[in-house]
Structure 1
Amino acid sequence: MLGDEDRSRLRRLVEVVAGHDLRRVVEKVAGQADPEVLASLASRCVFDHAATLVFPDRVEDVVDVLGRWGFEVSGPVPSVVVRERLVRRHGLDEEDSDVSILKAWATRTTGGSPGLEVFVLPRAREDDAVARAERRSRHEDHFALRVTRPADGGLDRVRSLLVDGLSLVPDGGGHNPYEGAATGGRSVLYFTAPGGRLELTHDGSLSDGA
């Protein structure tokens, strides 16, 4: 079963994805942005997804809900980066932290428009302490930009646009070999700002786009 709080969170995320583009995402996280910075980002990146973490009884419960809402769901694949973050924050045993990633798109736009990224950590009890803490903090909620054309300067230039151009603060990252395995996995870098968290995602390892 997927609880009411997590179900409501997913519903709000659906509405956000439908109404946002790269500019709105950047301004929501970082505030008003210089038009030249936005243009430079838009020439290299697209708005890829909005993400959250939920705690159902089973991964299949989330798949079922999204399917009933008209979404095409791919996965699940094991998470690496989020699992490690949860283990560090809560002192969990890695064997008890089987986090999965689900990707979902509205059926009419599958693969061609921003979608949802849902991290799923099944927990047996609705009042589970980890679930309560994460629902309060929303540490894993974020918007994501996907690098499509690193262009001049590669990923270093994209990172510079986020840090120097938008005053975002680097907040870790990593590489997940299970997601998009056919293209070398997926790398992510996280950034924080007063308005929330932003993820920069790139196919392959980070060095591939440097």
Structure 2
Amino acid sequence: MAELAALEDPRMREVNERHGDDHGVNLSKLRAVAKRLKTQQELALALWETGDTAARLLALLICRPKAFGRDELDTMVRVARAPKVHDWLVNYVVKKSPHAEELRVAWFADPDAVVASAGWALTSERVVKKPEDLDLAGLLDVVEAEMKAAPDRLQWSMNTCLAQIGIEHPEHRARALDIGERLEVLKDYPTPRGCTSPYAPAWIGEMVRRQNA
């Protein structure tokens, strides 16, 4: 904890806090600490229990994803309110867990929008890697009905799912583009030069162009 405190940069904290992340640790330096520590599940659990955002990020880098039980992961996603912690928990831990599909189904329609966003993130993963048995048309129905009014993090995850359906599944591409154009979610999102816009029609168009290049 003392080492993490020494990595704190007040200017970086100011930037991160604008995005809801209450830490000021450079993530490259945090990854260097994790690389030195290697996998240490017990230390990861202790770091997580501190509740400190930087400590939790480090915990997610050094933990053993398959060591967590289903209920442990459910509890963790419900207390991981900092966006970066939530993102790393889902992408670095839950996606590698044998409980990922069970949790995807449980979280998908959870009344807590942050938990539901985790369910949508896992669904996007399946849209790309294992779409068998997914009702893609049904997913588009939900996106069409609910994405516009969804809270920010849930909206982002639903938009990602919309874009991935359009990118990966040509038979649904026209409808995905139509939904994106009508809802205009993230249409004006500030996107650095050289990066792809998260606006679904632009995102789909760019990725399909690359596939066909």
Computing the radius of gyration over CA atoms, which structure comes out larger, 1 or 2? Answer: 2
Assess same fold via TM > 0.5: no
TM-score by length of 1: 0.27
Q: Which has the higher strand share?
A: 1
